[in-house]
Amino acid sequence: MSAIETTVQAAVRQALALALPGGGQLLVGVSGGADSLCLLHALRALALELGLALHVAHLDHGLRAASAADAAWVGALCAEWGLPCTLEHCAVRVLAERGRLSLEDAARQARYSFLVQVAQQVGARTVAVGHTADDQAETVLLHLLRGAGLEGLAGMAPDARWPLPGERGADHLRLLRPLLTLTRAETEAYCAAAGLLPRQDESNRDLAYARNRVRLELLPLLRELNPGITATLGRTAQVIAGEVAALQSIELKVWAAMAAEESGGVRLARTVFEQQAVGLQRRLLRRAVGALSSLHDLTWEQVEAARRIALAGRTGACASLPHGLRLRVDYDWLWIEPARRTSADTEWPALAQPTQLHIPGEAALAAGWRIAAQLLARAELPDDWATTRDPWVAYLDADAVGCDVSLRSRRPGDWLLPLGLHGRQKLSDLLINVKMSAVYRDALPLVLVGEAIAWVVGVRCDQRFAVTDRTERVCVLRVIRNLEG
């Protein structure tokens, strides 16, 4: 065995020992070029030693005249080597047009989706690809040129989560890059030493692609300043990856103390958010968006605009985010939520339209909530009825309330005599004083006796309908969420 074969196989052995210490099914993405061919040959040589069951996957993107021949060549090679292989064709150009993507992005998405499908079919939880140190250098430069945070400048990880989050079947799939410490020159030397004849992709010299311009024009210029630029960029990516890991540890602790996913959105405690360093605030906002959607289209400008609005402190202020999301400032919380979210999407009861409630009886509210009324003798009340803090229960004088009440949402000029407070108060002022989010107010159910508000649901009763020493019968109103509704 030649020195280069020994070097490459040692790197592959080390990577697999860490990622699949017990061996098992491994899917290998093979294009037929030098990098993936080198990887496949090395894995095949080590398969018995490492307990690997290999399966090859090749996707024909249909972008080149020779692509069908390349697919046939990979299939024939696998047959010769006794390896199972899945070949598939995809019209990437059509996907790019439909999704308004660049050919590079469309090809990448199609390729990873294909690998997920094949991994599911063959029972593999790890996919190996032939990315090298040169690919790493190109990726770091591309991310730098496009504008990226630390995650982008960390480049590609040798063992990473699946790069397209949220795709069905990819939750537990890992992407392994065993050649990431080796250069493209080394994979080509390996192929030559092993007598392999890799396929040549003429599109790799097409300067219409940004990666090719970095590879063929920018990196040669940088090598004039630093002959070891590939290794330098690789080390930089490793350093930044370590910094990212440290930051993520801090971020997760803060996140646990301030964030919660609730009702289709994410809420962040404002006071905790305001205490964090600027960089951590940005990371927390990105994490909140990532909990609801992809981060692919989230720009620095959008994050910064949201951060500034969050700190400005004006309740009700909003900032637009991609994928139909927004940041909304509430009294105590920052909400990352769908831009068209209404109170019916939340954990607070809402009223879709005015209705009547018979006593005793029930009436439906919106989003699976309902309100139930029952009559009790004063002696039947629970011992803690006067001190309960349950916002969804109200105790009213049944004789003051009568046999029927109406339910409606607020109107201009609404007022009440809040129990426990002094004097008349506008409903709008009461809701502001109790710091009720504006998103809930318009659909908040009100219980009315005639034209008088008897209960602002979840907030306060009116003292005109309160249970007193003279009360003999009590109307108990209870708001209930039907979780199956």
Across-strand partners of 164? none
Same domain, 122 and 23: yes
Q: CA 118 from chain center: how many Å?
A: 24
Shared-domain flag, residues 152 and 210: yes
Q: How many structural domains does the chain have? A: 3
Q: Is residue 248 part of a domain?
A: no
N residues, the chain = 485
Q: What are phi and psi of 299, to 5 degrees?
A: -95, 165
Domain that holds residue 463: 355-481
In a domain, 241, yes or no: no
d(CA 400, CA 384) in angstroms, rounded, equals 22
Q: Is 141 found in the same domain as 228?
A: yes
Please report, for the domain that includes residue 122, its CATH number.
3.40.50.620
On whether residue 247 sits in a domain, the answer given is no
Res 73: pLDDT = 95
| Residue 255 within a domain | no
Give the domain-ending residue among 341, 367, 384: 341
Alpha-carbon Rg for the chain, nearest whole angstrom, is 32
**pLDDT tens-place string over residues 79-138:** 999 999 999 999 889 888 888 888 888 888 899 999 999 999 999 999 999 999 999 999
Kindly tell me if the per-residue pLDDT of 342 is higher than 60.
Answer: no
> Are residues 146 and 269 located together in one domain of the fold?
no
Give CA–CA dist 345/335, Å, rounded: 13
The strand ranges marked E within 365-472 are: 369-377, 393-397, 404-408, 415-416, 425-426, 446-449, 452-456, 460-461
With cut-offs at 50, 70 and 90, classify the pLDDT of residue 166. Answer: low
- Examine the domain organization and report whether 27 and 140 are in the same domain: yes
- Domain shared by 315 and 427, yes or no: no
CB 306 within 8 A of CB 298: no
In a domain, 254, yes or no: no
Are residues 145 and 123 both part of a single domain?
yes
Average pLDDT, the chain: 91
Are the C-beta atoms of residues 408 and 351 closer than 8 Å to each other?
yes
Q: State pTM to two decimals.
A: 0.71
Cβ-based burial of 422 (10 A; exposed 0-12, middle 13-18, buried ≥19): exposed
Residues whose CB is less than 8 angstroms from the CB of residue 172 and which lie 6 or more positions away in sequence, other chains included: 125
pLDDT tens digits, 344-353: 455 678 888 8
Q: Do 282 and 379 fall within a single domain?
A: no
Domain boundary among 293, 314, 341: 341
Q: Say which CATH number the domain at 415 has.
A: 3.50.40.10
Q: Is residue 349 part of a domain?
A: no
CA nearest to 126, candidates 35, 36, 18: 18
CATH number of the domain at 296, please. 3.30.465.60
244 falls within a domain: no
Quick one: 193 and 277 in the same domain? Answer: no
DSSP 232-280: HHHHHHHHHHHHHHHHHHHHHHHHHHHEEEETTEEEEEHHHHHHS-HHH
Select from 286, 309, 341 the last residue of a domain.
341
74 and 27 co-located in one domain: yes
**DSSP assignment letter at 215:** I
| pLDDT tens track for 23-69 | 999 999 999 999 999 999 999 999 999 999 999 999 999 888 888 99
Of 415, 374, 424, nearest to 394 by C-alpha is 374
Position 247, amino acid:
L
Q: Are residues 401 and 313 in the same domain?
A: no
DSSP 8-state class, residue 420: T
- The answer to whether residues 136 and 180 touch, using CB atoms and an 8 Å cutoff, is yes
Q: Is residue 347 part of a domain?
A: no
> Does 331 lie in the same domain as 370?
no
Q: How confident is the model at residue 202 (pLDDT cuts 50, 70, 90)?
A: confident
- 218-270 residue pLDDT tens: 999 999 999 999 999 999 999 999 999 999 999 999 999 999 987 678 999 99
